[in-house]
Amino acid sequence: MVEIQTMKHKSGVETKLVKGLVFDHGARHPDMPKRVTNCVIFACNIELEYEKTEVSSSFFYNSAEQREKMVEAERKVVDDRVRKIIELKKQVCDGTDKNFVVINMRGIDPMSLDLFAKEGIVALRRAKRRNMERLALAAGCTCVQAVDDLQADCLGSAGLVYEYNLGDEKFTFMEELKEPQSVTVLIRGPNGFTIGLINESLRDGLRAVKNTLETNNIVPGAGSFELAANEYLKNNLDKAKGRAKLGIEVFAESLLVVPKALAENSGHDAQDVIIKMREALAANPGSAIGLDIKSGDVLDPESCGIIDTYLAKRHMISTAPVIANQLLLVDEILRAGRKKEKDKMAQ
């Protein structure tokens, strides 16, 4: 439940973690406060504007008075809902320094916004469903579906709610929450390309953390796992029989692609690095030996905090043979096609 919000502004280093929520819209009334502290949060999914009928229907009237009565009757339904919310605000906030913030999933018409503004209430309309789900975890409030029998136990709290303007766009920040179970990562960048790169990297990192928490397992990184697996397969090669030995030997060598790639990308000689790692593993059997990409020497990945997820390694080992098998099948199909062409030409 980590909300990722993007803002095309400043540079990528301005990306930050907000221990709260960031909404991509602001209050819809100019007289509403732009910054409030010690807030009471009221989350709801209530229609605070004229509802459109589900079926084709029409109203008939004989005079202007009748029309005005119909308008007033329809308006009264919405106004009653707004007044009940205002009554809850007075019950909770009157006589204190608390401020009331309404966040609604549905619409709020201008007249209702005006009533809220007169009471000093900050109201946000048409909040997204995912924001409402995170709001319950962050502020501790419950999304109310009706205004009947409103109680204070459905309310949440926040230390600070303020509006941030960026050109024509408005953002609402909700911060200083007591024990937020949901937070927001605000990605900032000068252009869409930079924001996209940061977004992808962030999602990969969150996914890695999620996989680690689910499996409750980690693997030493820096190429140590691949080197250890290579040594294990070579030491147990005599357990296999026949042509399987060749397959195991090739698979063992292919595992070293990872430490070799790390070495080459760091500007070191791949063969020298592999030799150093093998010598260190022989001197310390059973230890995790990784590559220090800065110096090209070996290191202990666990003590340096370099770890990989168990799921990533399992996926690598299980999919690599399948992909290789598919590629070999493609080669066989191409060869069969060439043979048929030659046979036709011979005929």
Domain residue limits, the chain:
20-49+61-182, 220-346
Q: pLDDT band at 93, cuts 50/70/90?
A: confident
Average pLDDT, the chain: 83
Q: pLDDT band at 347, cuts 50/70/90?
A: low
Residue 15 reports pLDDT greater than 70: yes
Question: Could you give the CA distance from residue 103 to residue 26 in angstroms, rounded to a whole number?
Answer: 10
Segment 265-293 mean pLDDT: 83
pTM: 0.66
- Residue 340's pLDDT is 64
- Residue 254's pLDDT is 84
Question: Could you give the CA distance from residue 299 to residue 227 in angstroms, rounded to a whole number?
Answer: 13
Least confident segment among 101-105, 137-141, 185-189, 328-332: 328-332
Contacts of 252 (CB under 8 A, 6+ apart): 229, 230, 233, 234
Q: pLDDT band at 343, cuts 50/70/90?
A: low
Please give the share of the chain, as a percent, with pLDDT higher than 70.
Answer: 95
Query: Which listed CATH number (3.50.7.10, 1.10.630.10, 3.30.750.24, 2.60.40.1220) goes with 20-49+61-182?
Result: 3.50.7.10
More confident residue, 149 or 341: 149
Q: How far apart are the first and last CA of the chain?
A: 68
Q: pLDDT band at 140, cuts 50/70/90?
A: confident
- Residue 339's pLDDT is 65
Q: pLDDT band at 346, cuts 50/70/90?
A: low
pLDDT digits (tens, 9 = 90+) for 40-63: 888 888 888 776 666 676 777 788
Distance of CA 319 to the CA centre of its chain: 26
Tokens matching residue 214: 């689910």
Segment 220-243 mean pLDDT: 82
Segment 161-177 mean pLDDT: 83
Contacts of 142 (CB under 8 A, 6+ apart): 43, 136, 153, 154, 156
Distance of CA 131 to the CA centre of its chain: 12
Segment 193-205 mean pLDDT: 88
Residue 9 reports pLDDT greater than 80: no
Residue 90 reports pLDDT greater than 80: yes
pLDDT digits (tens, 9 = 90+) for 286-309: 788 888 888 878 888 888 888 888
Residue 227 reports pLDDT greater than 70: yes
The CATH topology of domain 220-346 is GROEL; domain 1 (1.10.560)
Segment 262-280 mean pLDDT: 84
Distance of CA 284 to the CA centre of its chain: 41
